[in-house]
Structure 1
Amino acid sequence: MLKKIKAADLRPGMHLHELCGAWMEHPFWRSQFTLTDPEDIRRILDCGIAEVWIDTAKGPDVPGAIQAEVEASVTALREAESAQYADAARRTSMSEELRRAATICAKARTAVVSMFQEARMGKAVSAENACELVEDISLSVMRNPGALISLARLKRADDYTYMHSVAVCALMVSLARQLGLDEGDVREAGMAGLLHDLGKARMPGEVLNKPGKLSDDEFRIIKRHPVEGHCMLAECQRASDVVLDVCLHHHEKVDGSGYPNRLRGDAISLFAKMGAVCDVYDAITSNRPYKAGWCPAESVRKMTEWSRGHFDQRVFQAFVKCIGIYPIGSLVMLDSGRLAVVIEQTEKSLLVPRVKVFFSTKSQTYVVPEVIDLSRPGATEKILSHEDVAKWRIKNLDALWAG
């Protein structure tokens, strides 16, 4: 049973379940463990934590004199948390969540720009601001997984460095849930995604934003960003082991050809493998200073070709289940000869999303937009292929699904 107690009442042998307050502002890389060393209790008190949760099924209980007060606190907190997550768990429509996601993205951009500026000046990352941002993104993904993930992809080329962090955070949250990780690990994954590229704050701007292919020397400079980011996060002594690991190893590949340590296979952690997939997907679907992003469906196809050497197969397959074979924003051809853009995934199958039809290839004319749920019983159309936007000279595809 979980009970909330005063930190001053901690005793060796108790099983610590959670430290109250901002979940990065403590000196431990994990928050669930059995207290065996009195020094750990002193460290908890020294960093200003007033209350903690213990699990009495895994360690000693608190004295009976304060048990009623503790149980009342547990009940009240659980009711509040249940209400929060019950609200988030109610799946919202794509259009409704897109409106919320637009606000979150605007707020997130400001926060990440500030975070990078502070990092450039040698200041520690604000754990409180980062945690609040991860929570907002996590709740949005819970309400409708596709909205914020797809909207964050529409970043301007000059915003790439900042909004890439937001997009990877959202992708990591969604992937963590698809893999069945608990909510604590989901938050860790989100925080790791948000901070994975912090080292780019120390990269020369003329190299980071170069509107062309990097020279070998310039690429060697950019390849230092995982190590730089790891050093910055380690110095602030607030980042968890998961965040540090993903920051350092999100460019490792399972065949050992990645960097900085050329790790191979199981030597790469689950979270770093997740980071590798999410980082690549957002990178290749985004407009960059030197190239236009690939369409989402083409990106998934390319990643499938690379997956044997680059990605862990279990992680990559879970990722595809998150975003779909035809992710939101993909241009597809229906068997009726009409073009449509994918606007939302459905629960039935990765092959039958909801689409918005807008163009007839037979008459070569735009038609009145029509939303079709390809998963509904009696649906008469199906997707034949994903299509190249440039081939059909479609200029407003994102406006068709994002509004």
Structure 2
Amino acid sequence: MKPIKISVTQLRQGMWLVEPTTSWINAPFVYGKSGIIKSAEQIKHIIASGYTEAYYDPARSETVQSAPCHSALGRSGARQTPLAEELCRARDLYFDACNYIKNLMQEKKVGAIEVAELKAFVNEIIQSLHRNFNALLLITTIKKTSDYTYRHSINVAIFSIAFAQFLGLDDEETFDTGMAGLFHDYGKAFVPLEILNAPRSLSPDETSVIRSHVRLGHDNLKDIPWVSDIILDGILHHHERHDGSGYPHQLSGEAISLHGRIISICDVYDALTSSRVYKNAIPPAQAVKKLFSMSGQAWAPGLVEHFIKLVGIFPVGTVVQLSNETTGIVCQQDHKSPLKPTVLVILKKDRPYAPYYLKLAQNDQVSINRVLVPSELGSIKNSKFYRMFLDR
């Protein structure tokens, strides 16, 4: 039987991998060693090494479970909740989680809190992503400048959980990766606010203080019984870089944990798409291009490509102008047609319009003309739909 080419996220124990017929020079992201997949750890190593595809021989493989679907919809196998229905639940969850993390970081009492409360938030995020993958991701994109540190922690947790699921990590690892995302910036609770919120370039000494948040977060959590090694590694490694240029330990390559890499990509993506006191946000679609340009330097080749497959070329939350003179928000991907997502149309000729969903993959008459930049979002941010997510 002819070997079958699959994504590395579809690898399962018992599969017999074969060497590709194409030279590694022409296919550097295709895994090239033959043999049977013996463990989940082997699969994680292949993914962490940056490979995106592999060939397996069904005839020589042991009985394996069917590879799960990693499309943005239907991950749980259950009936999906309509976006409009899940958005309100997701919004309430998001605000509650942000307020909880804000109080937690301001009080600096992680060791004394009930872990059940924390687990409940992470589990609710996981369940919301199962019900409708797009709702929480849409809400992370519609953000205000204020309380950035707390909103950023929730956003990174959401993206980290979604990415871990996409990469095929098991439930326990996915949960701990989400917890690591939630606490990746916990050390900033111990950084002076005048440095943390400085609307200017920092001095070398101030930069050192900011960078100390990684160690401060790790050290203040390491002795708490429920904090796993995955959580600690995610916190400690999220500013390390594949080429060794990161901090605090200048780790490189495989010395950086997979969970640290996941959180690192999600951290940078959310930071790029967020407004800060010292910089403007950039559109999600532009942030995706920026991440791709950093592949090989900041992260192992291949891992960013997986993230881009997850969020799409036009990520959920991207505001686009269409060829029929309407403007809307990307609210769902079509992975078979990545240039043609589903758009929630809100404006026509910059004026409020009765909202409706437009599936571009099923409409050859309309296409995306361009992505709007933040300075052009005045009209859409004043729309009733958009504003319902700015405040509760």
TM-score range, shorter chain: 0.7 to 0.9
- Following the alignment from structure 1 to structure 2, what is the Cα–Cα distance between the partners of residues 280 and 253? 12
1:110 equivalent to 2:99? Answer yes
Kept in 2, the 8 Å contact 1:252–1:262? The answer is yes
Q: Does the residue aligned with 1:371 lie in a helix, a strand or coil?
A: strand
Structure 1 counterpart of 2:284, from 287, 296, 307 = 296
Structure exhibiting the larger radius of gyration computed from Cα positions: 1
Aligned to 2:373: 388
Q: CA deviation at 1:166?
A: 0.9
Q: Does the residue aligned with 2:87 lie in a helix, a strand or coil?
A: helix
Q: CA deviation at 1:123?
A: 4.3
- Identical-pair percentage: 36
Code of the residue aligned with 2:90 in structure 1: it is: A
- Following the alignment from structure 1 to structure 2, what is the Cα–Cα distance between the partners of residues 314 and 245? 21
TM-score by length of 1: 0.71
Q: 1:253 to 1:132 in 2, by over 3 A?
A: same
Q: CA deviation at 1:360?
A: 5.7
Higher relative contact order (CA 8 A, sep 6+): 2
Code of the residue aligned with 2:85 in structure 1: it is: E
Q: Deviations over 1:263-293 (max 9, x none)?
A: 1111111111101000111111112222232
Q: Does the residue aligned with 2:305 lie in a helix, a strand or coil?
A: helix
- Following the alignment from structure 1 to structure 2, what is the Cα–Cα distance between the partners of residues 263 and 398? 46
Q: 1:155 to 1:333 in 2, by over 3 A?
A: closer
- Following the alignment from structure 2 to structure 1, what is the Cα–Cα distance between the partners of residues 365 and 360? 8
1:199 equivalent to 2:190? Answer no
Code of the residue aligned with 2:181 in structure 1: it is: G
- Following the alignment from structure 2 to structure 1, what is the Cα–Cα distance between the partners of residues 285 and 75? 32
| 316-325 vs 268-277, which moves further | 316-325
Q: Deviations over 1:350-385 (max 9, x none)?
A: 222111345566xx7666544311122x54222243
Name the structure where helix makes up a greater proportion of residues: 1
Stretches of structure 2 lacking an aligned partner (at least 5 in a row): 1-73
1:345 equivalent to 2:333? Answer yes
Code of the residue aligned with 1:351 in structure 2: it is: L
Kept in 2, the 8 Å contact 1:329–1:401? The answer is no
Code of the residue aligned with 2:203 in structure 1: it is: S
Code of the residue aligned with 1:190 in structure 2: it is: G
Q: Does the residue aligned with 1:150 lie in a helix, a strand or coil?
A: helix
Aligned to 1:331: 319
Aligned to 1:140: 128
Q: 1:126 to 1:118 in 2, by over 3 A?
A: farther
Within 5 Å, give how 1:240-279 maps onto structure 2. Answer: 240-279=228-267
Work out the number of aligned pairs and report it.
316
1:373 equivalent to 2:359? Answer yes
Q: Deviations over 1:6-40 (max 9, x none)?
A: xxxxxxxxxxxxxxxxxxxxxxxxxxxxxxxxxxx
| 290-299 vs 388-397, which moves further | 388-397
| 283-292 vs 195-204, which moves further | 283-292
Q: 1:367 to 1:101 in 2, by over 3 A?
A: closer
Code of the residue aligned with 2:89 in structure 1: it is: R
- Following the alignment from structure 1 to structure 2, what is the Cα–Cα distance between the partners of residues 397 and 345? 25
Structure 1 counterpart of 2:225, from 205, 227, 237 = 237
Q: Deviations over 1:52-74 (max 9, x none)?
A: xxxxxxxxxxxxxxxxxxxxxxx
Structure 1 counterpart of 2:309, from 321, 342, 363 = 321
- Following the alignment from structure 2 to structure 1, what is the Cα–Cα distance between the partners of residues 281 and 153? 16
Q: CA deviation at 1:150?
A: 2.5
Kept in 2, the 8 Å contact 1:154–1:286? The answer is no
Kept in 2, the 8 Å contact 1:331–1:389? The answer is no
Q: 1:104 to 1:367 in 2, by over 3 A?
A: closer
CA RMSD across the alignment: 2.7
